[in-house]
Structure formats: structure tokens, C-alpha cells
Amino acid sequence: MNKKIILVALILFSSFIFSCDVGTYKESNKKSDLVIAVIYKTLDEAWFEEESEAAKNKALEMGAKDVITIDAKMNPDVYLSALDNLITQKVNGILICVPDQKLSKITVDRCKKSNIAVIACDDPLTDDENNYLAPFVGIDSNQIGIDMTNLLVDYLETNKRLTDLKSSGLLLMSMNSVSSCIPRTEGQLETFTNRIPNFPKENIFQSQYNGQSEKSFYSAASTITTNKNIKNWFVLSANEAGTIGAIKALEQSNLTENAVVVGLGGYMATDEFQKENSTIIASAYISATEVGQIAAKELMENLLFNKKIPDKYLVKDKIITKDNYKNLLLK
């Protein structure tokens, strides 16, 4: 008799569990009317184009009804107008890369007021003390700067490129206006000076730009042309657009033959590696697709299941060279 009672109880309990699982599944399906948006400071750069597409596809795959993609065109007015339009449309969540971090607080305040979930991508939304105002998905900036520089110095030492320091210069393409980029340059500068302590400090230059290749070109060209004593340029940058601009500036001054460049991003390096000679010896590759997918996944899981979004998610880099890029990327 007792065995029969236990058996009935187990059947009833199993039925209850099953009904709960089905209920949860149905509840998630009811939210397939979710509309999210992705706003990037520019879609002219390959990185943001790839990332936005990956985020859109991931959100749709997870059940979003629609994904609205907006190019802020590096213009704060365009950005704020787009943000207001999305709030009016009552979107459920937004992935944001602001064109100017000074817009962080107003962005978070407006979205909170309208109960819109927000994740900052690539560039965090911060207050005046650089404290995060919203969850952030980006890259491990300081470590990437360290990795890039170690590879550069290893190459210079192995190939005996440090014999004439007086006519050699380190060019750091920097974005001090973007808080997430500052640690990249700090990692580069600290690592380089620690490993080559006798490198002339007056031959270390930081050229500022806004993340776009055109601005990088003009900034690098100005530094190069005003320091004609430098014949051997070693270049590191805060993103791939900075690398592109610096190389074009070196080409304009006919200084590419003795230049050594380590890129950041990888989407330019794959073409360069196919050339017999290139100024780019390596690149710290980061997957824009991975950043976009992770950001979209975290946002959708928050909206669908009320899962807490991590305060910070940092994507790691991997160094690609002419010898290994096919195995690491093209598979």
C-alpha cells in the first residue's frame, strides 16, 4: 500500500515539474514581441559594421521581433535625436556605443525614466569619475596594449632594429577622449618603456584622434612631418582605424620601408599578411562578432528571463601574424 502511495506521489510531482517547465517556455515565447535597437557612433568602420550585424542576428535568433540599427555618424545631435525616437517608439532595450562619452548620463537617465534596458558596447557609459553607469561589454584594453607592445619589442630585438635609437621613434595613436581606449595606450607606453628603458623619451609621441582613420591620418602626418629626424617609426594604435591612418601618413612621407606596425582589430592585417612586404608585422585580433553576440545575448536574456546583466564583460584578444592568421581566422 505504501509503495502505491509513493508511486502516485512521484507521478503527480513529475506532472507538476513538467507543467512548470512548459509554463516557463510559454512565458518566454509570449515575449517574442520584443523590439531592441543598436546605436553605434559610426557604421563607417568595419569593426562597428560587423559588430552591429552580429548583435542584430543574435537578437533575432533569440526571438526579438525586430532590431533597429542606427548610425550616429559621430554626431551628438544625430545620436540624441535617434535616442529620443527610440524612447518614443517604446523599444525594450538598446545596445549603445556613444559618439561622445559626455552623453553618458543623459543617455542612462532618459532610458531609466522610460524603463529601457541598456548595455554599453565598446565605450562604457560613465560619470565624471569614469564610474560605470550601465553594464559594459567590450575588450580587455590594458592587457591588449601590453600584448601588442611585447610582440613589437620582441620583433625589434630579434631583428636588431634597436641599434639606432636617436633616429627611431615610437608613435602611439591615442584616443584620450574615450575612457575605454586610455588603458590601451597606458599598457603600450608602460610596457615599451619598461622593456626598453634607454629609449629616448623625446622620441616617444602620442598623436590624438577620434577613432576614425581620416582623423588618424592627419594627426599622424602632423607628428611625422614635424619630426624629420625620425627615420624608423614603430607604431601602435588604439584601434585598427588608427593603424590605417598612421600607415597612410607613413606612405605619404615615404617612410614605410623602415616602419614596424602592430595593429589592433585584425581586419586590415589579413590583407597585409598576403603581401610580400608589409609594415604590419602582427595584430591583436578581437572578434567584433563576439562582442556583438555577447551584448545581444545578455540584453535578450535580461528582457526574456529577467536575468541580471553582468556589470562588465571583457573579450580577450589573440595575436595574429603572417604565420598563424590562416589557422586562427580563416577556418
**Within a domain: residue 271?**
yes
Position 330 confidence tier, pLDDT thresholds 50, 70, 90: low
Question: Do 267 and 162 reside in the same domain of the chain?
Answer: yes
Of the listed ranges 20-29, 45-54, 244-253, 314-323, the least confidently predicted one is 20-29
Question: Do 93 and 218 reside in the same domain of the chain?
Answer: no
Of the listed ranges 119-133, 163-177, 276-290, the least confidently predicted one is 276-290
Distance spanning both ends of the chain, measured CA to CA = 63
The pLDDT value recorded for residue 28 is 43
Cα–Cα dist 19/330, whole Å: 46
**Within a domain: residue 331?**
no
Average pLDDT in the chain: 89
Per-residue pLDDT for 24 more than 60? no
Per-residue pLDDT for 16 more than 70? no
Question: Do 236 and 309 reside in the same domain of the chain?
Answer: no
Q: Which residues are bridge partners to 174 per DSSP?
A: 208
**Within a domain: residue 21?**
no
Per-residue pLDDT for 51 more than 90? yes
Per-residue pLDDT for 278 more than 90? no
Question: Do 154 and 62 reside in the same domain of the chain?
Answer: no
Of the listed ranges 217-221, 223-227, 287-291, 320-324, the least confidently predicted one is 320-324
Cα–Cα dist 70/48, whole Å: 11
For range 211-220, the mean pLDDT: 95
10-to-16, 20, 68 alpha-carbon distances in Å = 10, 15, 48
Question: Do 280 and 168 reside in the same domain of the chain?
Answer: yes
The pLDDT value recorded for residue 22 is 34
**How big is the CA angle at 111 (ends 60 and 290), to the nearest 5 degrees?**
40
Question: Do 243 and 295 reside in the same domain of the chain?
Answer: no
Cα–Cα dist 208/202, whole Å: 17
Cα–Cα dist 222/286, whole Å: 29
Question: Do 281 and 302 reside in the same domain of the chain?
Answer: no
The pLDDT value recorded for residue 301 is 97
The pLDDT value recorded for residue 130 is 87
**Within a domain: residue 10?**
no
Count of structural domains within the chain:
2
Per-residue pLDDT for 53 more than 60? yes
Question: Do 305 and 267 reside in the same domain of the chain?
Answer: no
Question: Do 181 and 258 reside in the same domain of the chain?
Answer: yes
**Within a domain: residue 11?**
no
According to DSSP, residue 120 is labeled E
Q: Among candidates 267, 314, 318, which has minimal Cα distance to 291?
A: 314
Look up residue 321 and give its three cell numbers: 601574424
Question: Do 214 and 280 reside in the same domain of the chain?
Answer: yes
Look up residue 252 and give its three cell numbers: 605619404
**Within a domain: residue 162?**
yes
Position with higher pLDDT, 317 vs 207: 207
Question: Do 145 and 240 reside in the same domain of the chain?
Answer: yes
Position 19 confidence tier, pLDDT thresholds 50, 70, 90: very low
**Each residue of 76-122: pLDDT tens digit?**
999 999 999 999 999 999 999 999 999 999 999 999 999 999 999 99
Residues 64/121, Cβ–Cβ less than 8 Å: no
Cα–Cα dist 122/148, whole Å: 19
- Three-state DSSP at 229 gives coil
Position 11 confidence tier, pLDDT thresholds 50, 70, 90: very low
Per-residue pLDDT for 35 more than 70? yes
For range 263-288, the mean pLDDT: 85
The pLDDT value recorded for residue 32 is 61
Question: Do 218 and 197 reside in the same domain of the chain?
Answer: yes
Cα–Cα dist 53/288, whole Å: 10
Per-residue pLDDT for 225 more than 70? yes
Per-residue pLDDT for 289 more than 60? yes
Residues 209/221, Cβ–Cβ less than 8 Å: no
pTM for the model stands at 0.77
295-to-45, 118, 319 alpha-carbon distances in Å = 19, 10, 23
**Each residue of 136-188: pLDDT tens digit?**
999 999 999 999 999 999 999 999 999 999 999 999 999 998 888 999 999 99
| Residue 176 structural domain | 141-286
The pLDDT value recorded for residue 270 is 78
Cα–Cα dist 234/281, whole Å: 11
CATH of the domain at 93: 3.40.50.2300
Per-residue pLDDT for 52 more than 90? yes
